Amino acid sequence: MGTDIRHEGVIDSIEGQDVIVRITQSSACGGCQARSICHAAESKDKLVEVHCADAGSFDVGQTVTVAGAESLGLKAVTFAFGLPLVLLLAALVTAMAVAGSEKVAAMAALGILVPYYLVLFLFRDRIKKDFQFRIIE
C-alpha cells in the first residue's frame, strides 16, 4: 500500500460499527503565532465516518488518528473536479459546434452537470465503499 493521509481527530459519536470522528482542518497559516490578530487563518470541522468492527473499544471524546490511502484523495479530486470539467468543456464545444449560440452552449454545459451529480448521488453507497478510512490509535 502507498502512503497514507493522516488527520488527528476526536470521536464525536459511535453508531453501531460506525465511528464518527471530528477533524479540525486548519489553513496553512493555522500554526502561526500571529493567527489571532491576522484573520487570514481559518479552520473547519469535518466529520469522517469510519466503519470498524471493534467500534466498542473506542469512547466518545477519545483522540484518534484517521488514515486513508493517498490514492483516495486523488480519486476524490477526479470525481469532484476532473470529470465535471471534462464534461463541461465537451458539452460546451459540442453545443457551440451544433447550435452556434453561446447562450445555448453555456446552458448545455451547465446542464450536463445535473445528470452527472445525480448519478454520483444515486451511487453514493457504492462509492462510499471505495472510500474507506481506518482509525490508528
38-79: pLDDT as tens digits: 655 566 788 888 888 777 788 888 888 888 888 888 888 899
pLDDT of residue 42: 60
Whether residue 81 is predicted with pLDDT greater than 90 in this model: the reply is yes
Q: Residue 117 pLDDT > 70, yes or no?
A: yes
Q: Where are the domains of the chain?
A: 4-136
Summarised one tens digit per residue, pLDDT across range 18-32 is 888 888 876 656 556
| Helix orientation angle between 102-111 and 113-122, rounded to the nearest 10 degrees | 0
Pairing of strands 63-69, 43-51: unpaired
Angle at 37 (CA atoms; ends 23, 32), nearest 5 degrees = 55
> Does pTM top 0.75 for this prediction?
no
Q: What is the pLDDT of residue 31?
A: 58
